[in-house]
Chain A
């Protein structure tokens, strides 16, 4: 039957390969080249300028702040989305009467556009907004804040809104993972007298590794690519307090600094790849040994 192998014509790969190459890979590779040029809107002739764009990035306070904010956002959302998502999934995997309804409720924000969520939260996060009114109603006056206009917390606020939106999506993946774990393991553990905590750490978590893996990757990569929520809620402000890599790229595009904008993108590309690939390999290996 070896011969049938050649019947699978490579031609069928071409449509996907061409679209993906032309509109994703070619621009990505071109980006590496243009990062080292002084490419501008108003100048058609390019000069190769070596590492100048990257030096500029690391000597510009706003750009460094944007990198910092992106890192904070990614870290906070990875932890928040996964911890909350996992807790929700474990709770909603129990025999609860309202579990189907609750699953649907927690999942629902993640089907909405981040634009919808961001516009909805903007007025509620104002000083006189709903969030502060609610905090005051339950006696937490001290937590009342100018959530989106206080430069020192604005990126955290945006991260929390993002967690609010997508923890339910992480929950759905964890639930799918939990449901693929055979009940026999838990019954065996119960007979051996293991506590629920022990079964959670010794059975649930290891067997959930594929789901944890995919969720960590999704949230981390998504977090580093953050753009829409910042663009809609603050536009990078107040001042430049909530600039992230994504909004910096838009700004350099608008100003005609294409070489610099592309360099920022290249930096993001390298950072994402450096973090994601070892994580991916490490996780895959762990999955196999368990």
Chain B
């Protein structure tokens, strides 16, 4: 009895301490959200005070003056297509690499794995894209994101595909299925949860990224949400309420995705990162 009571007291202390610590995370976020509903004079205190009147008009203004609808569509397009390319290409590659256990496949796996470690070489990538004739285009950014996430995705997929018994494939082969048939009919349905994990991870990292747009999107009509906001931040540096409304808007899609995909993030991390 004494032991469990001591445990209970310890749990209360830990819980109290963690609740206090969570304020360090929570307060800046609350300041951000409250600030997005204030007037530009009110927001300047960056405090936890509630707005005198809730300025929903901030959000309308941001959309009208910030040209956000274009940026929003660009972001959706870039993030969506690069995630899809990444998922299809990486899972197909990981499937073969996991199944063919030869020296060559081991070498190719290491070749992909290097991408997890090595930083990209931006200036030469620009030259390659210029040489191919589409520097500054949305297509170039889509392909670069697909490439940058290949290492991570192949790593996650191949760890998972190895846990699927090979006997399943063999039966299908005996029935006359092709390798594509086996991949799309048998493996793809079984790796749906990993697809969800990869989709969410790639989507979040691409949606949130600013480095690639800074170098590769030279024309404002191709800008993504983060880049438009960075530009807006420079122009409206006095209107923190509008800037904050902008920040909330750009965070909304990933927040919603996170709410729906929460369990895939955790299960994917467990399967891929911790056990892999």
Contacting pair B14 A250 (CB below 8 A): no
Given A261-B123, A273-B118, the answer on whether A17 and B108 have CB atoms closer than 8 Å is yes
Q: Any chain B CB within 8 A of the CB of A139?
A: no
Chain B residues, CB < 8 A from A7: 173, 179
Q: Any chain B CB within 8 A of the CB of A115?
A: yes
Chain B residues, CB < 8 A from A54: none
Chain A residues, CB < 8 A from B93: 12-13, 15-17
A176 to B96, CA, bound (A): 28
Q: Quick one: closest A residue to B17, CB to CB?
A: A91
Residue picked from A19, A177, A249, A258, most chain B C-beta under 10 Å: A19
Q: Quick one: closest B residue to A34, CB to CB?
A: B124
A71 to B117, CA, bound (A): 16
A116: which of B46, B125, B250 is its contact (CB, 8 Å)?
B250
Chain A residues, CB < 8 A from B118: 28, 269, 272-273
Q: Any chain A CB within 8 A of the CB of B19?
A: yes
> In angstroms, how far is the closest chain A Cβ from the Cβ of B177?
9
Q: Mark A24-51, 1 if CB is under 8 A from B, else 0.
A: 1111101100100000000000000000
Q: Any chain B CB within 8 A of the CB of A180?
A: yes
Binding site for B on A (CB under 8 A): 1, 4-5, 7-10, 12-13, 15-17, 19-20, 22-28, 30-31, 34, 88, 91-92, 94-98, 102, 105-106, 108-109, 111-116, 119-121, 123-124, 129-130, 164, 168, 172-173, 175-177, 179-180, 210-211, 214, 217, 221, 224-225, 227-228, 231-232, 246, 249-250, 252-253, 258, 261-262, 265-266, 268-269, 272-273, 276-277, 280
Binding site for A on B (CB under 8 A): 11, 14-15, 17-19, 21-22, 24-26, 28-29, 31-32, 46-47, 85, 88-90, 92-93, 95-97, 99-100, 108, 111-112, 115-129, 143-144, 146-148, 150-151, 154, 169-170, 173, 179-180, 183, 204, 207-211, 214-215, 226, 229-230, 233, 240, 243-244, 247, 250-251, 254-255, 258, 265-266, 269-270, 273-275
